[in-house]
Structure 1
């Protein structure tokens, strides 16, 4: 019976699973299955959804889960409220592990927008040569933008509508400053679109944008459920989980 269920898919989730396993804690990691060949964490893994709040609550009860750690991506907006509610239903402690958001520095030219639709409108207003790094599920929002050329960087090939002028680049981070400088120069990119995912794996493009004076359209994170127990590092999560498991 797993003592800890990690809702994963992030580097922090994999690191936490490894740390807990080293401590002798039974861990099972759950991945949504949206990436075809995900990086798998240490320990047992299940892939696919639970069937919403009710299905997750049933899983927690039936499998004797002692603690749920929600270490999903900051933009996985649907699973987090479902997990909070399911833990309430099943009387299982809930912990949110979410990496800190990026913050602009003095040299950054950020335009912050509330969602992907607003990002697409901002690109349509500007045109140019766009580095689109929001993930394959959001590419279709830019399909109607015909006055810009897009370099679309994704892990898996998009299966939705694409903008008329584009090149798809399949790639997986982490990315270095040298790599991002070369890519931006090669394709003469003058606008970057990203979600505020936080972390170091994909932040190099922001540093290059600041160096070059390139504008970055940054999609703000969806709000987290109010009143939840939340930490921002794997070390903090380890301490909290130890306490929750007694």
Structure 2
């Protein structure tokens, strides 16, 4: 009998996990994407796109599709989706595991300011600089809309308004090199960087560039994994957890 694994995806790790599980003959893999990215990369296994309709909708889908295991491999800041996953899994008695890449840590020479939210980051900016490089994604930028200064916003998809009055948008997808990030910071005369603690190597080069140019960085720290949900940092951790959970709650 095959094991049906539902991956809540949207990250590089989720795609790698789907590939690893697709090679297992006794495993049926479905990856669910929120549908916010217009051209997602190819994913092995089955694919569904769009929301479930909250925790209740996800629970109904888990029952209808006879899901045996739920892997939350969403973005570290997708707090609502993660909360719904935890609630739905508990309601259906389906084992759930969070796959979260490690966050970033400041090193020698870094000038970091940790905050807990985008509004807190916005409140800090006036004392740090007026030429801001915003790399927090396309959502939530309304927190910065009332600020003066020049904003360079980089995101994969066009950002959602409202935006600061003086905003330049750069549509790009990582990975980025340190050389490219250095050139970007110099060309736009950036004097403060704002980023979410997404972790991973694909977009970490900006932090190295900021260190080399002594540019302060405002880091929005990630929300915690929902209470009671175990977490692993990589795909190998998920595979080990799956192998060590012979029953999976059946």
TM-score, with structure 2 as normaliser? 0.94
**Aligned ranges 1:32-181 → 2 under 5 Å:** 32-146=34-148, 148-181=149-182
Cα distance 1:2–1:153, how it changes in 2: closer, same or farther (>3 A)? farther
SS in 2 for 1:4: strand
Distance of 1:33 and 1:155 partners within structure 2: 13
Quote how far apart the aligned CAs of 1:2 are. 6.7
Moved more, 120-129 or 222-231: 120-129
Distance of 1:151 and 1:108 partners within structure 2: 21
**Aligned ranges 1:11-50 → 2 under 5 Å:** 11-24=12-25, 25-50=27-52
Cα distance 1:245–1:34, how it changes in 2: closer, same or farther (>3 A)? farther
Aligned residue number for residue 228 of structure 1: 229
Aligned residue number for residue 216 of structure 2: 215
Quote how far apart the aligned CAs of 1:197 are. 0.6
Quote how far apart the aligned CAs of 1:224 are. 1.6
Quote how far apart the aligned CAs of 1:138 are. 1.8
SS in 2 for 1:78: helix
Runs of 4+ displaced beyond 4 Å: none
TM-score, with structure 1 as normaliser? 0.96
Quote how far apart the aligned CAs of 1:7 are. 0.2
Give the unaligned 5+ runs of structure 2: none
Moved more, 29-38 or 119-128: 119-128
Q: How many residues align?
A: 245
Aligned residue number for residue 189 of structure 1: 190
Distance of 2:163 and 2:119 partners within structure 1: 14
Moved more, 4-13 or 178-187: 178-187
Quote how far apart the aligned CAs of 1:76 are. 0.2
